[in-house]
Structure 1
Amino acid sequence: MKKWLRRIFWGFTAVLLLILLWAGGVILYEGWFGESSAQWTNVSFTDSDGTELRGYLAQPKEPGVYPGILLIHEWWGFNEGMTVLADALAAEGYVVLATDAYRGEVTGQVPRALYLRLSTPEEQVFNDVDAALAHLMSLDSVDTERLASMGFCFGGGHSLQLGMRQSESMALTILYYGTVVTNPDLLRPLTDGQPVLGIFGEEDASIPTADVLEFEAALNSLEIPNQITIYPGVGHAFLNEENYDEPGPAGEAWQQTLDFLAENFKE
């Protein structure tokens, strides 16, 4: 019996070691040879310290003054998918700045994404997102009285954080399956009149439905206008650049977002 237990233990240890070696190899390889998000950006700006930051700016074809949307990417980093969604929003009549919160780092591999998520200082992300918002507000084509933040996954959580941090500037907060805040005291800045749209998946293992309902209850306790929707039969990250305009939960969530924006940004 002990012999079999030892074999199981060492077999499990060997498998775990192989997984760790593979994950470490992915992280190191992409760190040295991986792509840069610069290939998908088209605008640069600086923060208060003069650090150059980058993003992707999408605008309606016709000149004019439009509501602005700050778009924040998933934990993969800024990739081509964000440009597709930014262009789609611009076609609806919004000036969209999709910001790069990882300063050029991007991946399509889970180990590297987890590494970037954990190793990028939160204060740096706050700084870079705030700088992106300042740049968006500086554009002549943007109506600074009609500004929204919108993000996915990692970006969804930071969209909510931006709404709380810069409540005096933001008119709307939109988060797709981002980390929620359930403490009413922390959410209180949103009472400045900033409606919230939250999109979540019923089968999302990373953001339990119970947490989403607690988030909704906290918003309601403060009388913050909100639409919190839990789409059945889908998990985390169910919307992307390939399905946002197709029938099904992703298309429905995207249309809900467009309706939310249009309703709150009427002239």
Structure 2
Amino acid sequence: MARFVKVLMCVCFVSFTLSGQVQAKVVGEEIKYHVDGQEFTGYLAYDDRMEGARPGILVVHEWWGHNPYARKRAEMLAALGYTALALDMYGTGKLAQHPKDAKAFMMATVSNMEVAEKRFDAAHALLKSLTVVNEKKTAALGYCFGGGMVLHAARTGRDLKGVVSYHGSLKAKTKAMPGKVKAKIRVFNGADDPFIKADHITAFQQEMKGAGVDYDFVNYAGAVHSFTNPEADKFATKFKMPVGYNAQADADSWMRTRAFLQDLFAQ
């Protein structure tokens, strides 16, 4: 059942403090791969002090492209004990600095969903091939453009345990059908996001219920688009965009995500 909740990182090494004062040594490294002859650059993060395979999680970037924010989220997941791959949906070097370029990159990708699916699937296959990943336990998180992409992956029956969308598009290019969706779905949305209309939410909920999907929808009062990204306020000022960071919504959605992933992979 959907719920409406009202609430007013080349190679590098990053250390995180986890509960119980356990130090996780997160290793991050760029990883190159190819799809239909085009090069893509992902970012792999994992705790190298852990032994054996663990659940793997894809992180799909915002419309800007594969940037430090996507890598940061991969590192945060690695600190929780997962192997995370921040994938690249546009191609090496395609990182937008202006909304016009971001929109162009995004539209070039989603205008042909077969191409977008190939890029997602290639990254998923790469993740599952790694020795530090349990190929039977994978999920995907997506932000903005990436949120819509992970929902599409779930709707089309990709072999994922679960997907989480943050301030992502709810519109369906391919609707979920009964028996098709394998993934459990969680959506975190800003109630004041001007890009997500009331009818989008209604249609999404009806679609999920009609397809018998295990889903949850959390709507944060006062939150607008990109509420999880601390850089959003800068974008709002620089480009006059209706976006903004919301610390409470960010913290709550991450807390819920952690619990969701823990339950998801315990099964």
Pairwise same-fold verdict (TM > 0.5): yes
Q: Does 1:74 align with 2:65?
A: no
Find the counterpart in structure 2 of residue 65 from structure 1: 53
In 1, the alpha carbon distance for the partners of 2:132 and 2:265 equals 15
User: Contact 1:163/1:190 (CA < 8 Å) preserved in 2?
Assistant: no
User: Identity across aligned pairs (percent)?
Assistant: 29
Q: Which residue of 1 aligns with 2:82?
A: 94
Give the count of matched residue pairs.
225
Residue matched to 2:155: 164
Given the alignment, which residue of 15, 31, 34 partners 1:46? 34
The answer as to 2:188 corresponding to 1:199 is: yes
| 8 Å CA contact retained: 1:191, 1:223 | no
What displacement does 1:189 show?
6.3
Structure 2 length-normalised TM? 0.76
SS at match of 1:76: coil
Aligned mates of 2:250, 2:89 — CA distance in 1: 24
Shift of 1:154: 0.7
* 1:70 maps to amino acid: L
Cα distance, 1:190 vs structure 2: 6.3
How far residue 191 of structure 1 moved from its aligned partner, in angstroms, is 4.6
200-209 or 59-68, which moves further after superposition?
A: 59-68
The amino acid across from 1:60 in the alignment is D
For 1:144, what is the secondary structure of its paired residue?
Answer: strand
CA contact (8 A) 2:70 2:86 kept: yes
Separation in 1 of the partners of 2:87 and 2:251? 23
Instruction: Specify which structure has the higher proportion of strand.
Output: 2
Q: Distance in 2 between matches of 1:113 and 1:166?
A: 28
Select the structure with the greater relative contact order (CA < 8 A; seq sep ≥ 6): 2
Tell me how far apart the structure 1 counterparts of residues 138 and 204 of structure 2 sit (CA, whole Å).
22
Which of 112, 122, 125 does residue 131 from structure 1 map onto?
A: 122
CA distance in structure 2 between the partners assigned to 1:59 and 1:51 by the alignment: 26
Does residue 55 of structure 1 match 2:42?
yes
Contact 1:149/1:174, CA 8 A, preserved across alignment: yes
Aligned to 1:117: 106
Task: State the distance in 2 between where 1:97 and 1:65 align.
Answer: 14
Q: Match of 1:187, SS?
A: coil
Query: Partner amino acid for 2:165?
Result: L
Instruction: Return 5+ residue gaps in structure 1 as ranges.
Output: 1-37
Provide structure 2 residue ranges, at least 5 long, that are not aligned to the other structure: 1-9, 12-27, 233-245
**TM-score of the superposition, structure 1-length normalised?**
0.76
CA distance in 2, matches of 1:231, 1:42: 34
Match of 1:143 among 134, 148, 163: 134
Q: d(CA) in 2 for partners of 1:230 and 1:205?
A: 13
Q: CA deviation at 1:258?
A: 1.0
- CA distance in 2 between counterparts of 1:84 and 1:190 reads 35
Task: Give the Cα–Cα distance (whole angstroms) in 2 for the partners of residues 107 and 180 of structure 1.
Answer: 23
Amino acid corresponding to residue 180 of structure 1 in structure 2: L
Rg (Cα) greater in structure: 1
TM superposition shift of 1:70: 0.9
What is the rounded CA distance, in whole Å, between the counterparts of 2:69 and 2:51 in structure 1? Answer: 25
Query: How far off its partner does 1:242 sit?
Result: 6.5
Do the aligned residues in 2 keep the contact of 1:70 with 1:133 (CA within 8 Å)? yes
- Residue 99 and residue 41 in structure 1: after superposition, are their counterparts in 2 closer, same or farther (change >3 A)? farther
In the alignment, which residue of structure 2 is the partner of 1:225?
214
* SS at structure 1 position matched to 2:266: coil
Q: Which residue of the other structure, out of 132, 147, 163, is the alignment partner of 1:173?
A: 163
Code of the aligned partner of 2:54: Y
Contact 2:178 2:210 in 1 (8 A): no
Q: Tell me the residue number matched to 1:25.
A: none
Structure 1 residue 203 displacement after superposition: 0.6
- Report the structure, 1 or 2, having the larger helix content: 1
Output one character per residue of 1:23-61: Cα deviation in whole Å (capped at 9) or x when no partner: xxxxxxxxxxxxxxx8996001233x4543220001123
Deviation at residue 241 of structure 1 after TM alignment = 5.5
